[in-house]
Amino acid sequence: MKVSKFGGTSVASASQIKKVAAIVQEDPSRKIVVVSAPGKRFSDDIKVTDLLISLADAALSGNGAEKELQAVVDRYASIAEELGLGDDIIHVIEEDLRGRVAHDKENRDLFVDQMKASGEDNNAKLIAAYFSSIGLEAEYVNPKDAGLVVSDEPGRARALPEAYENLKSLRDRQGIVVFPGFFGFTQEGVMMTFARGGSDITGSILAAATKAELYENFTDVDSVFAANPNVVDSPVEIKRMTYREMRELSYAGFSVLHDEALMPAFRHSVPVCIKNTNNPSAEGTMIVAEREYSKSPVIGIATDGGFSTIYVSKYLMNREIGFGRRLLQILEDEGISYEHTPSGIDDLSIIVRSHQLTPEKEERIMDRCRKELEVDDVHIEHDFAMVVLVGEGMNNTKGLTARATAAITRADANIEMINQGSSEVSLVFGIQNSDTDKVLKELYQEFFSTAAVLGV
Amino acid sequence: MKVSKFGGTSVASASQIKKVAAIVQEDPSRKIVVVSAPGKRFSDDIKVTDLLISLADAALSGNGAEKELQAVVDRYASIAEELGLGDDIIHVIEEDLRGRVAHDKENRDLFVDQMKASGEDNNAKLIAAYFSSIGLEAEYVNPKDAGLVVSDEPGRARALPEAYENLKSLRDRQGIVVFPGFFGFTQEGVMMTFARGGSDITGSILAAATKAELYENFTDVDSVFAANPNVVDSPVEIKRMTYREMRELSYAGFSVLHDEALMPAFRHSVPVCIKNTNNPSAEGTMIVAEREYSKSPVIGIATDGGFSTIYVSKYLMNREIGFGRRLLQILEDEGISYEHTPSGIDDLSIIVRSHQLTPEKEERIMDRCRKELEVDDVHIEHDFAMVVLVGEGMNNTKGLTARATAAITRADANIEMINQGSSEVSLVFGIQNSDTDKVLKELYQEFFSTAAVLGV
């Protein structure tokens, strides 16, 4: 059996939900369907999740939220009407929303979270009703009833080991299970949401728990591309890649599948397929444990901006046992995670995502470096981007770094950082943000032009 | 005034000491002379320091040490005789050695250290006597009397701030000061030796304290070469380099001047000159705070073997705040300092000097990584070498990395690690130990062939 997850644009409207139904009908092994909240129908549209955030804010303000509640109900109502469903399902949804608005507001974050999660939850109910209306045997299953037990970490919950035990039996249900993405419940029954990409995570957990033969992730692209199609003209499609490759690509800007979502599938060896709801006959991109290397060692090139560098130097630094550890402790005290730590002999840089920094944090960090570590110099620079070459075939491919650095030089960009030496699957370059597009184009040309793929 | 330090081979024999005297006589600004213990006169010779270690061992064994003591006295006696000195100085030295043999042996390490330090100390007395005998106004100055106060760290003492205050007045002494290298005394009067290259450190401290115009470091080569002359045929001589360049080169195998020795001179902006006792008219290599860049961005290429890599991987590692810090803590608990920490997305390597590892330490480290950090994989690999390109002109030289990686590829070597991104003065490559020589030759060809220097 397969677990099929449909993202926000795949369930944004009646016509999209009809495509979903057709996809599910077409293959009887599609037994578990995980759905997101209705996404945007057109580029200026408002996602249901955003309508729900407005509703939560209005409810918290104490000045009445009837208008905002009605906006959400109306959205579902228009979908239901177009799907030919009666009023019953809309009453269920409206009832549910009114119950949520009346929810305990002491913890404002949890209040907002339970309101947001209604987007997936009510959409699952609606879609289950639609499936039934067209003669598909289907039922909405609530994560609480199904036993999706998660850790008590609001906004970043993780499934507990017993969740996998509990969810296993979904496999044996009669008919199609329609399951809302994005949330679970603690042992104490408190609703908790997952991190960004939460519905992908739910699908991955269900696929792992039920030992599905395949986890299908339906979205709005035919496949994962080897490079950002907004920068590179018609980049090649990736037909088959490993978990590690997907993980490394999604780290640096490939947003097709949220990286954390891969973990349950990866740990339980369930292959993943990225497919297009709007073009289901397209083969999609398979994500598997192992693959044959193609002739090109590189499978994809990702880029991501928004990095900063904390630079420290101190004469004879590398003689001082504990220096690096104490520096990382300072960052940890500020709650900052770091990406890379390139080092010279007497200097060390720490590369972090810039959004974690504030002028006050930067001041405190620099101050502690001067006072506690007695550094000779410390300063922070912004506006760096990372370019990541990814491919299982890269390990031990002699000359690959030479080709990559030559391409970056042809792009007339300076290499601010290279991190090679740990991962066997990726090679990370730090460049100036403003050089990103020209570097990506030149690297794509180097590794994916016909000559490079067929020749060499 | 200048501080001139003469290394072991420069003071190994009467004929060498005569060269030293001629050098000192030639330039009246050479007011402070720092001397090592007599080194080897020919390749199979035994250094006085090694004779002294044998003496110390014999004394500690309790079975009498007369033979070993006589070997040391004889060596000085043969020098004294050839220099035409009377017996007085040899009586002084023998008396001194007998006093040291009778020294408290409770702390065996300190006993050995004070015995070793006699090599420099007695040679300074002998050389001062010789200078006087040929009509130079000169006096032996003892580090204790001069106030060279150091930290209580046996074998790796550091000069305390008051040492610089105390030593300042050496500048105003009449005549030439002959000062033994390698040791100082704690506040409590206990003798402590410096780290490896200790006489260089003494010279550097004296130059800094007396605000010398120049610290001359006399050795047995005309200059520092751009690459190891045992591997590259007639490498170019470096005429002028910065402290940072020298520091980075000496980190990775350039043994002309011990890196720690540069610190006092560096901190007090005293330029350093490496010169040849056997060819004093050669210009030597100047080490200064700043220099003009020549046309070649690279000034030297150093290589050093004996590195190991501790590799760890864990899915979603970079989300875990504190992961790297906890890993470094494990190394710190084992007393291991590290050199570089290249990282991928889910993996991290720590590169350390192999001599710090033992099979037991490796087992403990891997065990703690598995248990405390719950890593997916941890393993340790050995036999890596570092190749370091050094040059102040490298910063922002576009295409330099491309040239270097292309050269390594031409050498048919695999790049195991690249560390670029912190130091502005160096670029570090990790390769297999066995590839070191061919990589060095190819890189030298790339950056120092006539075409590269004159053209580009």
Lowest mean pLDDT segment, chosen from A131-140, B24-33, B309-318? B309-318
* CB-CB under 8 Å, B342 with A419: yes
Residue B113 lies in a domain: yes
Pair (B218, B76) in one structural domain: yes
pLDDT tens-digit readout, B427-442: 889 999 999 999 999 9
State ipTM.
0.76
Identify the three-state secondary structure at position A309.
strand
Same-domain check for residues B445 and B370? yes
Q: Examine the pLDDT at A193 and tell me if it is beyond 50.
A: yes
A284 and A304 housed in the same domain: no
Residue B452 has pLDDT above 60, yes or no: no
Q: Does A228 fall in a domain?
A: yes
Residue B172 belongs to domain spanning:
2-288
Give the DSSP per-residue string, B299-355: -EEEEEEEEEEEEEE-TTGGGSTTHHHHHHHHHHHTT--EEEB-B-SSEEEEEEEGG
Assess whether pLDDT exceeds 50 at residue B134: yes
Please report the pLDDT score of residue A259 as a whole number: 72
A259 touches chain B (CB under 8 A): yes
Comparing CB atoms, the residue among B321, B412, B422 nearest residue A348 is B422
| Residue A412 to chain B, least CA–CA distance (Å) | 7
The 10s digit of each residue's pLDDT in B368-426 is 999 999 999 999 999 999 999 999 888 767 788 899 999 999 999 988 888 876 677 88
B269 and B361 part of one domain: no
The rounded distance, in Å, linking the Cα atoms of A313 and B231 is 32
B419 neighbourhood in chain A, CB within 8 Å: 342-344, 418-419, 421
Residue A116 resides in a domain? yes
Q: Is B147 among the domain residues?
A: yes
Number of Cβ within 10 Å of residue B99's Cβ equals: 11
The pLDDT of residue B205 is above 80:
yes
Over chain A, what is the mean pLDDT?
A: 91
How many beta-carbon contacts under 8 Å exist across A and B?
185
Q: Which of A401, A412, A431 to mutate to test the interface with B (most CBs of B within 10 A)?
A: A401
Residues A269 and A390 reside in one and the same domain = no
**Per-residue pLDDT for B63 more than 70?**
yes
B18 and B93 part of one domain: yes
Of the residues A241, A263, A288, the one at which a domain ends: A288
Mean pLDDT of B29-47: 95
Q: Domain total for chain B?
A: 2
What does the pLDDT read at residue A141? Answer: 97
Of the pLDDT bands very low, low, confident and very high (cuts 50, 70, 90), residue A256 is low
Q: In terms of CA atoms, which chain A residue is nearest residue B252?
A: A345
In a domain, A307, yes or no: yes
B294: in domain: no
CA A85 to CA A126: how far, in whole Å? 9
CA closest to A405 among chain B residues: B402
Q: Could you tell me which residues are beta bridge partners of residue A217?
A: A5, A274
Domain end residue (candidates: A256, A288, A320): A288
Percent of chain B whose predicted confidence (pLDDT) is above 90: 73
Q: Is residue A417 part of a domain?
A: yes
Chain A partners within 8 Å of B156 (Cβ):
none
Q: Are both A264 and A326 inside the same structural domain?
A: no
B71-78 own/partner pairs: CB under 8 Å, 24+ apart: B72/B48, B72/B97, B73/B97, B75/B38, B75/B48, B75/B51, B76/B38, B76/B48, B76/B122, B76/B123, B76/B126, B78/B14
User: B132 Cβ partners below 8 Å, 6+ apart?
Assistant: B138
Last residue of a domain, one of B261, B288, B315: B288
Q: For position A347, what pLDDT does the model report?
A: 86
Give the per-residue pLDDT at A452. Answer: 41
Residue B260 counted as an annotated binding residue: no
Instruction: Categorize the per-residue pLDDT at B455 as very low, low, confident or very high, splitting at 50, 70 and 90.
Output: very low
Q: What is the DSSP string of A151-202?
A: -S-TTS--B-HHHHHHHGGGGG-SSEEEEE-SEEE-TT--EEE-SSSHHHHH
Is residue A294 situated within a structural domain? Answer: no
Question: Are the C-beta atoms of residues A222 and A276 closer than 8 Å to each other?
Answer: yes
Interval A96-111 mean pLDDT: 94
- Are residue B270 and residue B310 in the same domain, yes or no? no
- Mean pLDDT of the A30-52 span: 95
Mean pLDDT to the nearest integer, A374-384 = 94
A363 shares a domain with A283: no
Q: What is the mean pLDDT of residues A318-327?
A: 85
* Local structure of residue B372 (DSSP, 8 states): H
Residue A75 phi/psi, 5° resolution? -65, -50
Chain B positions touching A332 (Cβ under 8 A) are 321-322, 325
For B309-336, write each residue's pLDDT tens digit: 999 988 878 778 889 899 999 999 999 9
pLDDT at residue number A451: 42
What do you get for the CA distance between the two ends of chain B, in Å?
42
Q: Which of B:85-124 have CB within 8 Å of A? A: none
* pLDDT score for B131: 97
Contact across the interface for A344 and B428, Cβ inside 8 Å: yes
Determine whether the annotation assigns residue B87 to a binding site. no
CATH number at residue B425: 3.30.2130.10
Burial class of A36 by CB neighbour count within 10 A (0 to 12, 13 to 18, 19+): buried
- What is residue B454's predicted lDDT score, i.e. its pLDDT? 34
What's residue A276's pLDDT?
95
Give the pLDDT of residue B451.
Answer: 42
**CATH number of the domain bearing residue A100:** 3.40.1160.10
Looking at residue B456, what is its pLDDT?
30
Q: B422 vs A337: CB contact, 8 Å cut-off?
A: no
Same domain flag for A33 and A136: yes
Residue A454: is its pLDDT beyond 50?
A: no
Q: Is the pLDDT of residue A456 over 60?
A: no
**Average pLDDT of the segment spanning A225-246:** 90
Instruction: Give the lowest-confidence range in A11-20, B87-96, B417-426.
Output: B417-426
Judge whether residue A450 has pLDDT over 70: no
B344 touches chain A (CB under 8 A): yes
Contact B342 A342 (CB under 8 A): yes
Minimum mean pLDDT range among B212-221, B294-303, B349-358: B294-303
Task: Give the pLDDT confidence score for residue A290 in this predicted structure.
Answer: 85
Q: Are residues B39 and B139 in the same domain?
A: yes
Asked whether residue A455 carries a pLDDT value surpassing 50, the answer given is no
- Looking at residue A248, its pLDDT comes to 85
Contact call for residues B375 and B314 (beta carbons, < 8 A): yes
Give the pLDDT score at A320.
80
| Pick from A31-45, B218-232, B247-261: least confident | B247-261
Whether B258 and B405 map to the same domain: the answer is no
| Residues in B touching A244 (Cβ below 8 Å) | 346
